[in-house]
Structure 1
Amino acid sequence: AAAVAWVFDNIGKYGGDTSSIYVAGHSAGGYLVDMVGLDKKQLARYGKDADKLAGIIPFSGQVITHFETRNRQGIKPLQPTIDETAPLYYVRKDCAPILILSGDREKEMYGRYEEAAYFYRLFKLLGHPDVTLYELGGFDHGSMCAAAFPLAVRFIRDHEKK
């Protein structure tokens, strides 16, 4: 959140525009961009509004309670939990546009694709106007970025035209 707030404060110095800030990350980075974009308290600590983000692009981000948190609590890797440390806890229809990217459901770690699909479904049920999910067939957790980058670039280009 501190890094994203820094971008809001400094993007103009580098020729950028605060209305064109997209956050993206892979794996733990995907989890972090989801938390920064969905839990409004994260950016509010720095006087920023998460709804001013132009887009959220998690690459295979964990959306249930993060495995490190579950590990500290003695919860096994295959035991799903959703609490205030989970992006799923903060799903809302008024967040920035979101592009959810996942590797192949048979090759992703644990149930990451299924988490992403549930994440997507909740956004749709809440009436979010701009949410997309891609399952990248044939790609595992580590290799999915190669297929995901072009989709992220297209998402950004399409949204910048609007």
Structure 2
Amino acid sequence: MVKRSFFWILMICIGIPAFAQEVTYTLEENINYYEDLTETQTDYQKERCKLDVYYPQGMEKLPVIVWFHGGGPEAGEKHIPDGLKEKEVVIVTVNYRLHPKVQHPVYIEDAAAAVAWTFKNIDQYGGDKNKIFVTGHSAGGYLASMVGLDTSYLSKYDIDTNDIAGLIPFSGHTITHFTIRKENGIPGTQAIVDKYAPLYHVRKDTPPMLLITGNREMEMLGRYEENAYFYRMMKVVGHENIELMELDGYGHNMVYPAVPLLLNFVKEKSQGE
């Protein structure tokens, strides 16, 4: 009893709390990210162009992760991947319009509008607009890359893509997306690199990048190899802040084991290391 009392007195005297403060997280759902960006919207735009914000209460200047779901872009719903909750970061998870109700570049434009909304509003949720990281899986990874590499999409909102703190596509196309090729009658095995390909926009001054794919023998249609080529071309033009990670033992559905890599990257870049 004496030792225990001394422990509590010591904690009070030196100002260290006996227990870590519990953080409460809030999920604000179905925010229309076009509402303040455009005066007119279609019914499908109003229905689909929504995002959720998941954030810890009472904290400020936190890193922000914008997450785009996969699925084509022909399917899928906004969600927070396993392993991202309660990590003292703000999560923005986004729905965007889907093929065949729309065709390219509408879903890329939606992704850019969601990122623009984040830059303009995230301080209300304790996020730091200087620490916005854009990521997603498969089609979502492709959208993250396009928004971060093709400067034209965010420039419509007077936002410099290089103000993004980092791009972390999970198993995303670097060639033109197969859905866009399908919309043009081009088979999925025929590689195209045009203005709808991240590879078309290779440049030295992009934000830091972490490319993550599954194992090359288990991935979808050469996804590792196209990321490896993108990585090499970025190195050729002089981009020094890019990494490529191949997750052995995992195929295209490699989100869960990649989440810790994402969080480590966010922590490192947020601290300026």
Compute the TM-score of the two structures, normalised by the length of structure 2.
0.58
1:75-90 aligned at under 5 Å gives the runs 75-90=186-201
Q: How many residues get paired?
A: 161
Read off the aligned partner of 1:151 and give its amino acid letter. L
Superposition pairs for residues 24-103 of structure 1, below 5 Å? 24-103=135-214
Match of 1:154 in 2: 264
CA distance in 2 between counterparts of 1:72 and 1:52 reads 32
The 3-state SS of whatever aligns with 2:250 is: coil
Question: How far apart are 1:53 and its partner, in Å?
Answer: 0.3
Counterpart Cα distance in 1 of 2:190 and 2:262: 30
RMSD: 0.7
Aligned mate of 2:235, from 124, 128, 150:
124
**Which deviations, in whole Å up to 9, do the C-alpha atoms of 1:41-63 show, x marking residues without a partner?**
01011111100000000000011
Q: What do the CA deviations read for 1:86-142 (whole angstroms, capped 9, x no partner)?
A: 111001110100000001000000010001100111111111020000001110101
Counterpart of 1:7 in structure 2 is 118
More helix by percentage: 1
Q: Which runs of 4 or more aligned residues in structure 1 lie more than 6 Å from their structure 2 counterparts after TM superposition?
A: none
Secondary structure of 2:181's aligned partner: helix
Q: What's the CA shift for 1:64?
A: 0.5
Amino acid at match of 1:50: T
Q: Aligned-pair distance for 1:73?
A: 1.7
Q: Which runs of 5+ in 1 are unaligned?
A: none
| Higher normalized strand content (fraction of residues) | 2
**Higher Cα Rg: structure 1 or 2?**
2
1:133 and 2:263 matched: no
1:146 offset after TM fit, Å? 1.5
| RCO higher in structure (CA 8 A, sep ≥6) | 1
**2:160 is the counterpart of 1:19:** no
Q: Distance in 1 between matches of 2:148 and 2:188?
A: 25
